[in-house]
Structure 1
């Protein structure tokens, strides 16, 4: 079974400015309410360590593999719970240049695996709320500076 969460927000700055904040992983603990940290070499094929804290849920640390890293446009990673096929998540940050000085930031994740039905309601609430909180903070930070 597959399940997708997708959120988006318009940010009133260029994709380059949003990307600069989004990829400044060292600063995540200072502003990001959902992804508390990302460490490791964020490059295609590399494993990174991500610590997330969804609202009203337990904090988790996992080690996804970076699938895509396109400057000012897209970052995608794939993580697994235990091993592939149990509970897999393909997380995506996408930046769309609206051509008018604004950026549409899309954060999504496709979950697949045999445990997805068990966690679906929690994902749709806690994880989605985490995405929204992060999107809002990213917008505030980008537009403030």
Structure 2
């Protein structure tokens, strides 16, 4: 089964709790997030979510992933897939660590599996750009607060 992954990183001048509070405030995503334009659902493991994501230069899509983990100040992960098993599954994640007092290192990525992976090169590159755009917007929002 084909696989792939995207990993982006950014340093934020604020503690992980401050970064988490912006990530967890999903209702405010339309105000600042250039990649995830809509997000609905409780951040509780096993919970269903509904979100709309739009990579730069590509058409957006609405997804209904399942939350895998939502550990305050540390981890946010969800998994989504296409309705036909084996075509495409993605596990999206945010990992927050504190390399120094008052600082956060954010790792934001996604691991993919499925038969469609070899056909998605352009979409995955645009998605990586979208992740980086989101990271920058998150950094700006958190550091402004």
TM-score by length of 2: 0.96
SS at match of 2:118: helix
Q: Note the residue ranges of structure 1 that are not aligned, 5 or more in a row.
A: none
SS at match of 2:120: helix
SS at match of 2:97: strand
Other-structure match for 1:138: 138
Matched, 1:67 2:81: no
Other-structure match for 2:40: 39
Shift of 1:109: 0.2
TM-score by length of 1: 0.96
Matched, 1:52 2:79: no
Question: Over residues 28-66 of structure 1, what are the superposed CA-to-partner deviations in whole Å (9 max), with x where a residue is unaligned?
Answer: 000000001110222101110011011000110010011
Shift of 1:121: 3.3
Question: Contact 1:95–1:104 (CA<8 Å) still a contact in 2?
Answer: yes
Equivalent positions of 1:90-105 (< 5 A) are 90-105=91-106
Question: Contact 1:77–1:90 (CA<8 Å) still a contact in 2?
Answer: yes
Report the aligned-residue RMSD: 0.9
Dislocated runs of 4+, deviation >6 Å: none
CA distance in 2, matches of 1:11, 1:44: 26
Other-structure match for 1:119: 120
Question: Relative to structure 1, is the Cα distance of residues 133 and 23 closer, same or farther in structure 2, using a 3 angstrom cutoff?
Answer: same
Other-structure match for 2:89: 88
Question: Contact 2:35–2:55 (CA<8 Å) still a contact in 1?
Answer: yes
Shift of 1:114: 0.4
Other-structure match for 1:16: 17
